[in-house]
Amino acid sequence: MRDPELIAVNEDARLIPWWSIVTAIAAFVAVEYYMWGVLPSQRHHPGPPIGFKIYFNLSWGLLAALYFLMVGYVSKDAPRRAMSARFWMLICFVMPGGIGAVLYFLLRQPLVSRCPACSTFVQSDFHFCPQCDYQLTASCGNCFRTVRATDQFCTRCGHELAKDKMPARLRVMAE
């Protein structure tokens, strides 16, 4: 598994890089310049009403800006999930109309974190580390579904969780 770039989940604002913000602003300004400055001079007949022009000019500018912000987001989010940022940025650029971004969100991997015992990269939905068998999250001993550390019974199968050998560190979290 590739080494993921570690960015805390609560730091979502840092997931859009500065180059993406600058490019988005430049794209918005370029679209507005084209729509208000270049395009009207090439018309040989009167244009649509002013409200219609404002709506479409701002819409196209915001879509262009959003496109570059999305590519920037993918460039920072993909390494957190041990995915190739270059590949997904290329997909976002090549696929028209935001289809690449939709594909990214449908196919992206879960977040990756480190095992506290052996520092192996593990997916966030793992219950046990695949290298050292360290229990990462509380789980039912019968059906192995995720449970909260404070639960007395499994919500899926009704198994009494007190009978399981829960590690002491998870018991302390429950208290």
- Per-residue model confidence as pLDDT tens digits over 43-91: 677 777 888 889 999 999 999 999 999 999 999 999 888 899 999 999 9
* Pick from 72, 63, 77, 69: nearest CA to 24: 69
Structure tokens at 123: 């997916």
Distance between CA 140 and CA 133 in Å, rounded?
16
**What count of Cα atoms within 13 Å lies in the side-chain half-sphere of residue 63?**
10
130-139 long-range CB contacts below 8 Å, 24 or more apart? 135/167, 135/170, 137/170, 138/166, 138/170, 138/174
| Tally of domains within the chain | 1
**What count of Cα atoms within 13 Å lies in the side-chain half-sphere of residue 8?**
2
Within a domain: residue 50? yes
Within a domain: residue 135? no
Parent domain of 27: 12-110
At residue 13, the pLDDT reads 66
Within a domain: residue 47? yes
* Pick from 121, 132, 18, 123: nearest CA to 75: 18
pLDDT digits (tens, 9 = 90+) for 24-38: 999 999 999 998 888
Within a domain: residue 75? yes
Within a domain: residue 115? no
Within a domain: residue 18? yes
Q: Which residues pair with 128 in a beta bridge?
A: 135
DSSP characters over 105-137: HHHPPPPEEE-TTT--EEETT-SB-TTT--B-S
Distance between CA 1 and CA 17 in Å, rounded?
25
Within a domain: residue 174? no
* Residue 167 or residue 61, greater confidence: 61
Name the pLDDT band for 172 (thresholds 50, 70, 90).
Answer: very low
Structure tokens at 11: 């730091």
Find all residues with CB under 8 Å of 37, minimum gap 6, and list them: none
Distance between CA 154 and CA 140 in Å, rounded?
6
Tell whether the model's pLDDT for residue 129 goes beyond 90.
no
Q: Which residues pair with 135 in a beta bridge?
A: 128
